Amino acid sequence: MLSESYEVDYWDPFATDLLGEPGETDDFTDGLSQDFAKSKWSLRSNFALWTIPLILSCFGILMIASLTSQGGSGITSPYGLPIKQLLFLMLGFGAMIVICVIPLSYFWRMSGFFWVCSILLVGATLISGLGVKVGGARRWLNLGFIQFQPLEILTLAVTIHMANRLCASRLDAKQCFLKMSLLIWFFSVLFPLFQPDFGGIILLTGICMSMHVVNRGWEYPLKAAVFLLSFFALMIYTADYRMGRIIAFLDPWNDPTKSGFQIIQGLVAFNNGGILGMGLGKGLQKLNYLPAAHTDYIFPVIGEEFGLLGTIVVIALYSFWTWKCYQLYARSRDQARSVLIWGMTVSILFPLFINLGGVMKLLPLSGTPLPFVSAGGTALVFMWVRVGFLLRIDKELSDHEARYGVLDG
């Protein structure tokens, strides 16, 4: 058990907050440590972590402006949407700064509370009067002064809570999976099931399971996957529009004007773009051919206007950012932060893959926006909150390294 004892040597700032279970994994804790463990960390230290999302966000605003200035579907005022998006970006950036200055231990302590609260918020969407029904699903919550999708909060809260519980749990992999991970997953997806929000459930499932995997191994989630697949098959079977999407995914040419329309038009957009693209604002697909071109289908629009060059650059940015997250992960010497880094990363990457998979005919469509790029207020702000968490972890790691030095060779 070399690795176990190896890890115990490290400082864990969360340990004091681990719900009255001190000492077992951590015998090195003192409350003073944070007072002198200061590094010269600033936003510049690991700037790629936030500049890449910023580039993507700005690019997104550019694309939204390009789309809406020529009157895509259902857009009336030419620059209303890009300006709104810019405001949300500023809000998100502000949220990132705020998260940056709050010690992680605070969220660690409050994770259970936040999780329960966010589940209740999701549940509130099912109450008529509070929940807003859009296109057959109750995903929006209307609090009078603001409208948002509480699922965004839930995915964030469940990431933190899952990390917390995984680290706190002393159970073996099987028991941990059955008694803890599966339970958190179940309560998280309970209300989205009734909204219904198929994409949200996939996302929550992905986050919960992958966090378990990264902490406790592949075995049980894989076993559960068999069960889960049959569960999803049932879900798909019960809703016609989901079935339609699956059929459209399997063969969009079966019905190119209706169920297969979106997928085909997405592919047409890529084809139109070629290698160098048609030029900003010159795309044809946004002329109502691509429904929701500024949200779900923004990636094909990029493909059309900037070609392979544009899409590869976007993919490269995401990959590079993922690489930076991995570097952070590799630097981390404690379970709690590692799992949290992983959780934050996948909760950004999973929507990315679901979106790209959908528009690239690799997955059934599920209506998930492209992180940072797509138009959409709540999603954008919460993506930036995740970046804030990653930066906070980076700062705390830097503080730690400043005090103890980089021990990892």
Partner 1 sequence: MRSRRGPWVVFVFVFAFLAWKLVEYHCFPDPRVYAQSQRQYWSRTPIIGNRGYIQDSKGNILALSTSVSSFFVDPKRWSPSSASSLIGLLPQNIIQKISGPLEGRYVRILRKSAPELGQKIIDLNLEGLYEEKEKKREYPNNALLSHVLGYCDFDENGQAGVELAWDSTLYEPPGHRILIRQTGGRSIAIGDERDYEKEPEISSVTLTIDLRIQYVIEKYLDETMKLHNAKWGAVLCMDPKTGAILSMASWPTFNPNNREEFSHPEKTLNNAVGRAYEPGSTFKPIFMGIAIEDGLVRTNETFQCQARLKVADGVITEAYKRAMGTLSTSQILIKSSNVGMAQIGIRSKPLDMYRSLLNWGFGKVGDIELKGVEKGLILSPGQWRGVVPANISIGQGLAVTPLQLITAMAAVVNGGEYVSPYIVQEARNSSGEIVYQGRKNMIRELLTPETCSWLRKTMRDTVIEGTGRQADTPFTELAVKTGTAQVAEKGKYVPGRYVASIVGFWPYENPKYLTLIVVGEPRNGKYYGGEVAGPALKKIVEGMADLESFDNGKKL
354 and 366 in contact (C-beta within 8 Å)? Answer: yes
14 or 148, CB closer to partner 1? 14
Indicate which single residue of 297, 318, 382, 389 sits in contact with partner 1 (rule: CB under 8 A): 318
Q: Which two tokens stand for residue 110?
A: 């409050």
Residue from 199, 273, 343, 358 in contact with partner 1 (CB under 8 A):
273
Distance CA 71, CA 271 (A): 22
- Find where tokens 């992960």 sit: 329
Candidates 46, 188, 295, 338; binder of partner 1 (CB under 8 A) is 338
**Chosen residue from 3, 76, 77, 128 binding partner 1 by CB under 8 A:** 3
Among 308, 363, 401, 404, binds partner 1 (CB under 8 A): 308
Torsion of CA 345, 346, 349, 351, to 10 degrees: -130
As given in the structure block, the two tokens for residue 39 are 């590094």
Pairing of strands 137-142, 131-134: antiparallel
Q: Does 247 bind partner 1 (CB under 8 A)?
A: no
Q: State the number of binding residues for partner 1 (CB under 8 A).
A: 46
Asked if 332 is part of the footprint of partner 1 (rule: CB under 8 A), the reply reads yes
250 binds partner 1 (CB under 8 A): no
- Which of 42, 175, 238, 319: binder of partner 1 (CB under 8 A)? 319
Identify the residue among 100, 349, 365, 387 touching partner 1 (CB under 8 A).
349
Considering the complex, what minimum distance in angstroms separates the CB of residue 15 from partner 1?
Answer: 15
Q: Is 80 in the site for partner 1 (CB under 8 A)?
A: no
Compute CA 46 distance to the chain's CA centroid, rounded to the nearest angstrom: 20
Whole-angstrom Cα distance, residue 11 to residue 28?
6
- Say whether 321 sits in a helix, a strand or coil: helix
Q: How many CB atoms lie within 10 A of CB 36?
A: 9
68 binds partner 1 (CB under 8 A): no
* Rounded CA separation 378/90 (Å): 12
Q: Are 379 and 152 in contact (CB under 8 A)?
A: yes
Q: Kindly provide the b/e burial profile for residues 311-340, where b requires at least 16 CB atoms within 10 angstroms of the residue's own CB.
A: beebeebbeebbebbeebbebbbbbbbbbb
Pick from 209, 211, 249: nearest CA to 231: 209
Residues 86-115 that bind partner 1 (CB under 8 A): none
Q: Which range in 92-100, 178-186, 197-205, 211-219 contacts partner 1 by CB under 8 A? A: 211-219
* Separation of first and last alpha carbons in the chain: 20
- The whole-angstrom separation of Cα 218 and Cα 202 is 18
| Nearest one of 341, 265, 306 to 315, comparing CA atoms | 306
Nearer to partner 1, 307 or 351 (CB): 307
Q: Which of 54, 312, 363, 402 binds partner 1 (CB under 8 A)?
A: 312
CB of 209 to partner 1, least distance (A): 10
Residues 352-371 that bind partner 1 (CB under 8 A): 353, 356, 360, 362
What is the nearest approach in angstroms of partner 1 to the Cβ of residue 84?
24
Q: Counting contacts by CB under 8 A, is residue 168 touching partner 1?
A: no
From the list 36-44, 199-207, 241-249, 264-272, the region that binds partner 1 by CB under 8 A is: 264-272
Site for partner 1 in 280-299 (CB under 8 A): 284, 287-289
Asked if residue 69 binds partner 1 (CB under 8 A), the reply is no
CB nearer to partner 1: give 250 or 284.
284
Alpha-carbon span 328 to 49, nearest angstrom: 10
Nearer to partner 1, 85 or 272 (CB): 272
Beta carbon of residue 237, minimum distance to partner 1 (angstroms, whole number) = 27
Distance (Å) of CA 307 to CA 22, 66, 275: 55, 15, 5
Q: Does 60 bind partner 1 (CB under 8 A)?
A: no
Residues near partner 1, by CB under 8 A: 3-4, 6-7, 210, 213-215, 217-218, 253, 256, 264, 267-268, 270-275, 284, 287-289, 303, 307-308, 311-312, 315, 318-319, 322, 326, 329-330, 332, 335, 338, 342, 349, 353, 356, 360, 362
